[in-house]
Amino acid sequence: MLKATPEPLIRVSGAVKRYGQVTALAGVDVEVFPGETVGILGANGAGKTTLIESVMGARLLDEGDIEVCGFSPVRQREECARRMSLQPQGSSLFKHLSVTESLELWASFYPRPREVDEVIALVELESKRRARVKTLSSGQQQRVRLALALIGDTEIVAFDEPTVGLDPLAREQVWDVIRQRAGRGAVVMATQMMDEAEVLCDRIVIMDAGRIVAAGGVGELLVRYAGQGSVSFKTVAPVDAATMKKLPGVLWASTRRVGGSTSVRLVTSDMARAQAAVRASSSVRAENLKTVGPSLGDVFLRLVGRELNAPIHEEN
Ligand SMILES: Nc1ncnc2c1ncn2[C@@H]1O[C@H](COP(=O)(O)OP(=O)(O)OP(=O)(O)O)[C@@H](O)[C@H]1O
């Protein structure tokens, strides 16, 4: 339930987690406040799951500290477990149980769970109430995972890639379920999908290689990093990102060689100037030139544009 307190529900300070040579978290600081839906956005291997599972007490940090509602998820595990739930991953469903049995089992872990039937209705699995989980489609199993995250009615709910592998309609349905939960306590969600982060999250934390490279509301991130939006085109000319980035009005550039042509995307500080520069350049020979207003994709490209081998932080 939402509490009128300025204290963060989750506080992560200086979190470092190493797996042998791999540093999955390289000094992460995050706070999540009551009522917020916070999206952790990052590519494969950015450290999202490690961060969420460390908050849940399922992984031990090498350095740093985590507090959940003032408790340590490691030293005060039970206090934390009562207050937060994580959407379980693929392998952790009990596939021989029915949907109802699964939810009843999960509900027994929490002091004040929601009604099983109410949560089944929320995820639209009424017709599958008695079906064993192993007989459900992958999309329906994903809804069971969502239901398990919601049944405890905990202050904090974490979702890890909640719509991965779902068709567009099923994704929208899952979004509706998350939206209904939003605002009560806090929601934390790891995702690789910009549209999902944009649609659902009050605040987005962008991670790359175990670090937070930017955090803020969507509007704030767009203003800080996306300039006026992007110009994209294809060309058969052998252009490279470093050259494209020098064009007037361009903040950032990415190039991708596909077959015999190069797809180019330019994040612009001045869309009209950048467009004119591309058209005027005899060496570029742009085809299919398109312009799109500022998007989270531009923000991500500027901050995590690794194909450019560029510094992660770059100011406008
Ligand atoms: N148990 C583990 N043992 C060894 N390395 C691990 C382990 N878990 C994660 N890693 C490594 O830590 C890094 C971060 O992984 P993590 O799963 O946190 O990233 P992620 O952002 O959730 O990625 P994805 O979107 O692919 O799930 C990766 O390089 C990964 O290979």
Residue 284: CATH number of its domain = 3.30.70
The CATH number of whichever domain residue 205 belongs to comes to 3.40.50.300
Pocket test for ligand 1, best of 49, 191, 306 (most atoms within 8 A of CB): 49
pLDDT of residue 1: 53
Counting the structural domains of the chain, the total is 2
The residue from 162, 186, 216 where one domain ends is 216
Q: Which of 166, 196, 216 is the last residue of a domain?
A: 216
Nearest-angstrom CA–CA distance, 30 and 239 = 39
Confirm whether 27 is domain-assigned.
yes
Mean pLDDT of the chain: 88
Please give the number of the atom of ligand 1 that sits closest to the Cα of 207.
Answer: 21
The pLDDT assigned to 298 comes to 85
Instruction: Give the closest residue to 240 by CA, choosing from 230, 252, 255, 250.
Output: 255
Q: How confident is the model at residue 90 (pLDDT cuts 50, 70, 90)?
A: low
Tell whether 315 is covered by a domain. no
Q: Tell whether 313 is covered by a domain.
A: no
Contact 27, 16 (CB under 8 A): yes
Residue ending a domain, among 198, 216, 234, is 216
Tell me the per-residue pLDDT of 3-46, one tens digit each, with 9 for 90 and over: 555 689 999 999 999 999 999 999 999 999 999 999 999 988 89
| Cα 296 to middle of ligand 1, angstroms | 23
In a domain, 1, yes or no: no
Residue 182, domain member (yes or no): yes
Same domain? 65 vs 183: yes
What distance in Å separates the CA atoms of residue 29 and residue 13, rounded to the nearest whole number? 5
Q: Is 21 in the pocket of ligand 1 (CB under 6 A)?
A: no
Give strand pairing partners of 15: 28
ipTM value for the complex: 0.96
- Report whether pLDDT(258) > 90: no
Instruction: Note the pLDDT tens digit of each residue in 104-154.
Output: 999 999 999 999 999 999 999 999 999 999 999 888 898 999 999 999 999
| Atom number, ligand 1, closest to the C-alpha of residue 50 | 18
Q: What is the dihedral of CA 192, 200, 172, 207, to 10 degrees?
A: 0
Structural domain containing residue 133: 10-216
Higher pLDDT among residues 265 and 28, named by residue: 28
DSSP string, 263-308: EEEEEESSHHHHHHHHHH-TTT--EEEEEE---HHHHHHHHH-GGG
Q: Measured from the CB, is residue 48 less than 6 Å from ligand 1?
A: yes
Helix or strand or coil: residue 82?
A: helix
**What are the beta bridge partners of residue 187?**
37, 157
Global pTM value: 0.84
> 173 and 270 in one domain?
no
Which position has the higher pLDDT, 48 or 312?
48
Distance between Cα 49 and ligand 1 center (Å)? 7
- For position 302, what pLDDT does the model report? 84
Read off the tokens for 246.
């020098």
Whether 55 is covered by a domain: the verdict is yes
Query: Which atom of ligand 1 is closest in space to residue 51's alpha carbon?
Result: 18
179 and 302 together in one domain: no
